[in-house]
Amino acid sequence: MTSLSPTAPSNTLAPQATGTTTPTTTVAPAPTHAVGPDVPAGLTPATRTIAGSVGPLASYPAPCYVGLYACERYRFTLQREGAVEVTLSWQGGPRAMLIQLYRAGAGLVHEDVAPRDGAPTITFRRTGLEPMEYELRVVNWEPDTTHAFTMTLTTWQ
């Protein structure tokens, strides 16, 4: 490989700064939590609300999350391509629960936890979901505690 070196100084002059500058401070707006992408126009929403509880682990025949934690499962079917929005709220600490959306028998689509310093609530939206059966898993990360929860599931088809 050939090495290139400058043969002469550059004729470009650097501009000289004169005067004084005052530093400016801008305050960035607080970040907002995005639920997810917009739902395509023309889809019809259907909402259902589920009140339940999950835990303690000892009351379940087998753990369902990584072999260590209790969860409740809720299945639903999209008859054609659509979208879902889920809001899960519970009584307890913000990191006590997790929610997962699975394609039934085909793998994880979405997993979410609440912000560490936020309210015990998770909200997410997924669009472009194929028509098939899905499963929501409400996971309790505290094996000795029961957490009451409310989950709102909105599907668009």
Per-residue pLDDT of the chain (157 residues; tens, 9 = 90+): 444 444 444 444 444 444 444 444 445 444 445 687 899 999 999 999 999 999 999 998 888 887 889 999 999 999 999 999 999 999 999 999 999 999 988 899 999 999 989 999 999 999 999 999 999 999 999 989 999 999 999 999 9
Long-range contacts of 35-39 (CB under 8 A, 24+ apart): 35/85, 35/123, 35/124, 35/125, 36/85, 36/124, 36/125, 36/126, 36/127, 37/125, 37/127, 38/127, 39/83, 39/85, 39/125, 39/127, 39/156
Give residue limits of the domains in the chain. 45-156
For the whole model, what pTM was predicted? 0.75
pLDDT for position 106: 83
What would the CATH number be for the domain defined by 45-156?
2.60.120.380
